Amino acid sequence: MVDRQIEFKILRYDPDSDEAPHWQSYSVPCDPDWVVLDAINWIKDNVDESLSYRWSCHMAVCGSCGMMVNGEPTLSCKAFLRDYPNTIEVEALNNFPIERDLVVVLDRFMESLAKVKPYIIPKEPRTAEDGTYTQTPAQLKAFKQYSMCINCTLCYAACPQVGLEDGFLGPAALALAHRYNLDSRDVGRSAREDVLTEHDGVWACSFVGACSQVCPKDVDPAAAIQQAKIASTIDYFKERLLPGRSR
């Protein structure tokens, strides 16, 4: 195959020497079958070994290679060069502080995840001797889509509310909370309720829908959040209007 010469503009930032990030250009002889990540690997191997970025699986599974590619949050291992023009801009994911080059600081995302208790909270403790849980296909289907998240944070980079509201838990964490709330093995809905309905929870979402447009796994976090809003509204009225129910 004939190589295709592509101009890569990469936003570089070295915390040891740079006051602010700056663009640097690289002309890369690309195999037509490459993805953006291959070209970045080529730059690191052949031109500039100091270029920093994250990746691991090269198959859209690990979720670590997210970058802004021509302004769009993208898994760079899934971004085929044949779908791009001859100039490609690559920048660290939006809405996150830049640690170095294309590497972002993920603390906020990690903290948001922890806050929503993203694990099964069972009715009573269960040991290995008790055997596995059983679930019908319908029970599985209720949440399966929301369990496909690979924590790539593309949805955070796409969401304007994440950028504007520092504390907003963000799409993936809220979708995950909804995923566990929908799980028939879980009884943690009330334990998650406060964090979901507080100022930084589902109501901070203004339903732009950008998260779902960029999600590489079709998780559709925007849908999860709207459904969580409806569920929390119903809970609110149930708690206040039905006798014998308390929080």
Partner 1 sequence: MSRRPYVRPISRTGWWTTQKRYTEYMAREVTCVFIGAYTVLLVWGLMRLSQGQEAWDSFVAGITGPVGILFHLVCLAFAFYNTVTWFRVTPKAMPLMFKGKRVPGTVIVGGHWAAWAGVTLVVLIVAGI
Binding pattern for the stretch 148-187 against ligand SF4, x by CB under 6 A and - elsewhere:
-xxxxxxx---------------xx--x------------
**For residue 8, what is the enclosing H or E element?**
strand 4-12
Q: Note whether 122 binds partner 1 by CB under 8 A.
A: no
Report the nearest approach of ligand SF4 to the CB of residue 7 (Å). 28
- For ligand FES, the binding residues in 209-238 under the rule CB under 6 A are none
Angle at 40 between CA 36 and CA 46, to 5 degrees: 140
- CB atoms under 10 Å from CB of 11, counted, come to 17
Specify the long-range contacts of residues 233-240, CB closer than 8 Å, at least 24 apart. Answer: 235/189, 235/193, 236/197
Q: Note whether 137 binds partner 1 by CB under 8 A.
A: yes
Question: Helices 107-115 and 171-181, interaxial angle, to 10°?
Answer: 20
Q: Note whether 21 binds partner 1 by CB under 8 A.
A: yes
Report the nearest approach of ligand SF4 to the CB of residue 158 (Å). 8
Contact with ligand FES (CB under 6 A): which of 10, 26, 43, 63?
Answer: 63
- For ligand FES, the binding residues in 67-86 under the rule CB under 6 A are 75, 77
User: Of 38, 6, 41, whose CA–CA distance to 25 is shortest?
Assistant: 6
Q: Are 4 and 86 in contact (CB under 8 A)?
A: yes
Q: Are 120 and 186 in contact (CB under 8 A)?
A: yes
- For partner 1, the binding residues in 198-227 under the rule CB under 8 A are 206-210, 212-213, 220, 222-223, 226-227
Joined together, the tokens standing for residue 68 give 């802004």
| C-beta of 77 vs 112, nearer to partner 1 | 112
DSSP code, position 120: -
- DSSP 3-state assignment of 37? helix
Contact with partner 1 (CB under 8 A): which of 97, 111, 133, 233?
Answer: 97
Q: Note whether 65 binds ligand FES by CB under 6 A.
A: yes
The contact set with ligand FES (CB under 6 A) reads 55-58, 60-65, 75, 77
Using CB under 6 A, list all residues that contact ligand SF4.
Answer: 149-155, 171-172, 175, 215-217, 219, 221
